[in-house]
Amino acid sequence: MTARKKLFLKTYGCQMNVYDSERMAESLKDYDQTDRADEADLILLNTCHIREKAVEKVYSELGRLRDLKDAKPDLKIGVAGCVAQAEGAEIMRRQPLVDLVVGPQSYHRLPELEARARGGEKALDTDFPEEDKFDHLRRRPKAARGPTAFLTVQEGCDKFCAFCVVPYTRGAEVSRPAERVLEEARDLVERGVRDITLLGQNVNAYHGAGPDGDWSLARLIRELARIDGLARLRFTTSHPNDMGDDLIAAFGEEPKLMPYLHLPVQSGSDRILKRMNRGHTAEQYLRLIERIRAARPDVLMSGDFIAGFPEETEEDVRATLDLIEAVNYGFAYTFKYSPRPGTPAAERAQVPEAEMDDRLHRIQALIARQQRAVQDAMVGRDVNVLFEKPGRFPGQMVGRSEHLHAVHVTAEGLEPGVVRHVRITASVTNSLSGELRG
Ligand code: 5AD
Ligand code: SF4
């Protein structure tokens, strides 16, 4: 029997990368994961290309691995994720330490690439193959899981927002067949999962093949909700133009679909939305939220904003602040615009750095106020909490409310995976605390 090897896997970026990393780790059957790079036989960086100087960060991270490789010549180093896709063979040219480069659509080929790298080859795969990579990324049988899990149902994007690199790194929109998703969800539930977040770069455009034609995301959610033992469903990330009537209705009709929706708008200015190639106006976005709230009045909205998109003026920023006021977000994320090579916006007149910082801070301050007020408004209410893990203090358990707020409760006999009624008693910086009700 061969000795087991050790894998150090570092994940950057979005939840989809977290999901991909889990699948990659499971596919490397001769490896156990370690959190110490210095004892690893294989180091894999699962990279993100969405913002900032992602490529340079990867090269400097790789540079720091030189000593480890010198000390242990058998150590193999691999780069996965969106920087791998964007850079391809250039990574191996610029950094000869790298043995393996694998793009997000080729992870099912990782065991073979690892074997080739082990044999002394430089192994590279950044194709966009036709097959479903997750079919080949088999899970280890029946390993127990915590109560929450991500499940990728869709990848890639055809929207081509002018700032975004995703359509280039993750490719065109592809949906996994519905039966595969159902199978994977049933397997997760058998292993202890109670709360599943469906993932996709444009998840609400899901249109996977079903036994009776293509299924929408709403149909998929309705079928998933029939799985006994599954308590909660969420999905992320969505584009406003793909919020179909059936999906909006599902918020009112499907009790397992949680009242939480991440629906990025990026800007509140129609002029900027047009330049971003978003395909909708601020007014259309606000009307859409009205319809969602008509279906489920307590839905908690979340979003993404970009501060300092090229040619953005003070008036545009005010329009964004007005839109945020009108929506009242429970959570939202603001990013400084970062020019991504190869995207149309990178060629345009950039907003000066100091202006960008100022706008970022103003938008963030407004969102922080809203977020806190939405959280504070939970005090005194009874909510359902799905408990996940022990908290920092003895006897304490932490879970999530239906609206995704973290909730701390100190009580006897709470196990991960149980859902209980909790009376919220206090709101602190990033969480709520409460007491069991019955
Ligand atoms: N610059 C800044 N933010 C960006 N995002 C995507 N591309 C860029 C970029 N070039 C943000 C968007 C998106 C989120 C995932 O990242 O807000 O919704
Ligand atoms: Fe990028 Fe999202 Fe726009 Fe697609 S919809 S191009 S993933 S920001």
Q: Which CATH architecture has domain 5-125?
A: 3-Layer(aba) Sandwich (3.40)
DSSP for 211-223, written as a single string: BTEEEEHHHHHHH
- CA count, 13 A, side-chain hemisphere, 346: 11
Strand partners, 80: 46, 102
pLDDT of 131-179, one tens digit each? 667 776 655 556 788 999 999 999 999 999 999 999 998 899 999 999 9
Q: How far is the CA of 224 from the centre of ligand 2 (A)?
A: 26
Is domain 134-376 annotated with CATH 3.80.30.20? yes
Pocket test for ligand 2, best of 51, 159, 266, 343 (most atoms within 8 A of CB): 159
Q: Looking at ligand 1, which residue's alpha carbon is closest to its atom 14?
A: 304
| 380, 382, 384, 385: CA torsion to nearest 10 | 30
- Name residues whose C-beta falls within 8 Å of residue 231's C-beta, 6 or more positions apart in sequence: 194, 195, 256, 386, 419
- Name residues whose C-beta falls within 8 Å of residue 276's C-beta, 6 or more positions apart in sequence: 161, 162, 163, 266, 267, 306, 309, 345
* Residue 327 φ/ψ region, left for φ over 0, alpha for ψ in the -120 to 50 degree band, beta for the rest: alpha
Alpha carbons 349 and 131: distance in angstroms, whole number: 41
Q: What is the mean pLDDT of residues 172-200?
A: 96
| Max intra-chain CA distance, the chain | 68
Tell me the binding residues for [4Fe-4S] cluster.
14, 48, 82, 157, 161, 164
Strand partners, 32: 6
Alpha carbons 63 and 72: distance in angstroms, whole number: 15
Q: What is the mean pLDDT of residues 391-411?
A: 95
Predicted confidence (pLDDT) at residue 268 exceeds the cutoff of 70: yes
Give the per-residue pLDDT at 138.
Answer: 59
- Evaluate: CB of 344 within 6 angstroms of ligand 1: no
- Evaluate: CB of 160 within 6 angstroms of ligand 2: yes
Q: What is the CB neighbour count within 10 angstroms for residue 15?
A: 14
Tell me the binding residues.
14, 48, 82, 157, 161, 164
pLDDT of 24-80, one tens digit each? 998 999 999 999 999 999 999 999 998 877 788 899 999 999 999 999 999 999 999
Across the chain, what does the average pLDDT equal? Answer: 94
Report the chain's C-alpha Rg in angstroms: 23
Strand partners, 209: 214
Q: What is the mean pLDDT of residues 312-330?
A: 98
Q: Percent of the chain, pLDDT > 90?
A: 87
Q: Domain-by-domain residue ranges, the chain?
A: 5-125, 134-376, 382-436
Give the per-residue pLDDT at 323.
Answer: 98
Q: How far is the CA of 87 from the centre of ligand 1 (A)?
A: 19
Q: What is the CATH number of domain 382-436?
A: 2.40.50.140
Q: What is the mean pLDDT of residues 321-347?
A: 96
**Helix H segments across 137-194?**
166-169, 178-190
Q: How far is the CA of 362 from the centre of ligand 1 (A)?
A: 18
DSSP state of 146: -
Alpha carbons 42 and 9: distance in angstroms, whole number: 8
Give the per-residue pLDDT at 131.
Answer: 66
Q: How far is the CA of 51 from the centre of ligand 1 (A)?
A: 6
